[in-house]
Structure 1
Amino acid sequence: MVGRVVRVALVVDEALSRAALAQGLEADPRVAVLHRLGGRREALDRVDPRTVDVLVVEEALADGTGVELGMRLQERDPDLAVLLLSGRDASDVVLALRGRTPRPWSHVSRRACPDPGALARAVVATADGQAVLGPGPGPGAAPAGVAGLTAAQGAVLALVAQGLSNRAAARVLGLSPRSVENHLAVVYRALGAAGPDVSPRVLAALAYRTGAAPRAAG
């Protein structure tokens, strides 16, 4: 006998991938996908408070980021659980959010967890209040291209690379905006993220996402 059914809003850019993920999730009788959405704006318009238990959201969306969307929806509904889905290991992003959101977030890498059944189990566990994390670095760890940063610097970079403003990152981490600016200044110097045509913020975000430090442009 099936108990409580976990209500899911699935937000994934690519239509075929979205359909396949929804089908895999609903193969588990404990999961019902109420929304199959293609982006941030659509989710903000259609996901009402108290109507969904878990937001399963892709890390990178065409019109924003999954982190920013999850935070916005949790502000509306503190009982909403969030599972961040990505094609890489983004557990450091979720760890940066730990203790700063109404409910703990989970993260699943499609590369490390290709089985739809495993994803459904992660969704159910997330709805039950567990923080599910795939294999990856511990708190404060950074991709190879940004090694050598402190835990605080790595957390700031992880959030900024997701598109959060300095003020939003400061709020999540319990820091002042000035502290975030200071951490970013150190990050930019450590990465050599400087150039006449591209902002150091963009270069640092690319270094975070690719794991390769940018080459300073002269």
Structure 2
Amino acid sequence: MRASERPIRVAVVEDHTLFRSMLDHIVTTTDGLELAASCATVTQARTLITPGSADVALLDVDLPDGNGIALGVLLCRTDPNIKVVLLSAQDAIGLMLDLPKDVAGTWSYLSKTSTNDSGALVRAIKVAADGGSTLDPALLRRMRPRVGTKVAELTNRQYSVLRLLASGLSNAGIARELVITEKSVQNHVYAVYATLGIDASPECNPRVMAALKLIEETGSD
């Protein structure tokens, strides 16, 4: 587990020099974050990101000598405590559904467009470090439930709660966004779990399971 008193160590793997420099700058200038490694290739990452050296890895999906997903799987299998935030220039959020089950627990996904907002990136890093996951909020806003799915059975309010939950917001954050009480959010979250058939016990990370269900049963506009 990460000691709460020390900074979150972030490893960046991105082949485009300018974009990698931007990510490095965000990490190094944000209180509570520390740049553990900055790499342009899978080969560099395998050398520099060793077990225990980083808490969160920011990984570009497309790299010149491989891809971020395969690299993330390798990193997670080598170091079960590391968390992964995937970055992509394309809408590839569906890739989250194809992750091997043994490492799929708390991966996050952001569009590179969203990473122009440093606040969204920093929040995703912090959520990941705390064991949660974040799906790109802008992409989630374009998602619509497919007819005949469990997600389509949710009320409008429950669907709004699910989408905000999947974007990495806490119950308190969802309450502020929807201007309702945290108790109401909690009730809606449990109703979402019940409708989607998700075990609400902490052992199964139900928030991550609900987020994956949202990807699986929706389509983009």
1:113 & 1:91 partners in 2: Cα distance? Answer: 15
Question: Which residue number in structure 2 is paired with residue 42 of structure 1?
Answer: 44
Instruction: Give the superposition deviation at 1:99.
Output: 4.3
Question: Which residue number in structure 2 is paired with residue 131 of structure 1?
Answer: 133
Give the aligned residue type for 1:24: I
2:112 & 2:133 partners in 1: Cα distance? Answer: 17
Question: Which residue number in structure 1 is paired with residue 62 of structure 2?
Answer: 60
1:79 & 1:38 partners in 2: Cα distance? Answer: 23
Contact persistence 2:10–2:27 (CA under 8 A): no
2:67 & 2:5 partners in 1: Cα distance? Answer: 33
Secondary structure (helix, strand or coil) at the match of 2:116 reads: coil
Aligned-residue CA RMSD in angstroms? 2.6
Secondary structure (helix, strand or coil) at the match of 2:53 reads: coil
Instruction: Give the superposition deviation at 1:76.
Output: 0.7
* Unaligned residue ranges in structure 1 (runs of 5+): 142-218
- Residues 66-96 of structure 1 show CA distances to partners (whole Å, capped at 9, x for unaligned) of 0000001111101110000111222211233
- Residues 154-207 of structure 1 show CA distances to partners (whole Å, capped at 9, x for unaligned) of xxxxxxxxxxxxxxxxxxxxxxxxxxxxxxxxxxxxxxxxxxxxxxxxxxxxxx
- Residues 9-55 of structure 1 show CA distances to partners (whole Å, capped at 9, x for unaligned) of 10000112111111022222111111110110010011110111001
Distance change >3 Å, CA 113–CA 11, structure 1 → 2: closer
Contact persistence 1:97–1:105 (CA under 8 A): no
Question: Which residue number in structure 1 is paired with residue 75 of structure 2?
Answer: 73
2:33 & 2:57 partners in 1: Cα distance? Answer: 12
- Write out aligned runs for 1:171-190 (5 A): none
* Unaligned residue ranges in structure 2 (runs of 5+): 147-221
Secondary structure (helix, strand or coil) at the match of 2:120 reads: helix
Identity of aligned residues (%): 31
Distance change >3 Å, CA 23–CA 113, structure 1 → 2: closer
Q: Which has the higher helix share?
A: 2
Secondary structure (helix, strand or coil) at the match of 2:91 reads: coil
- Give the 4+ runs in structure 1 shifted more than 4 A: none
- Write out aligned runs for 1:108-123 (5 A): 108-123=110-125
Contact persistence 1:84–1:105 (CA under 8 A): yes
2:52 & 2:105 partners in 1: Cα distance? Answer: 14
Contact persistence 2:42–2:63 (CA under 8 A): yes
Give the aligned residue type for 1:61: L
Instruction: Give the superposition deviation at 1:102.
Output: 6.0
Instruction: Give the superposition deviation at 1:130.
Output: 0.8
Instruction: Give the superposition deviation at 1:100.
Output: 3.7
Contact persistence 1:106–1:126 (CA under 8 A): yes
106-115 vs 39-48, which moves further: 106-115
1:26 aligns with 2:48: no
1:130 & 1:120 partners in 2: Cα distance? Answer: 13
Question: Which residue number in structure 2 is paired with residue 96 of structure 1?
Answer: 98
Q: How many residues align?
A: 141
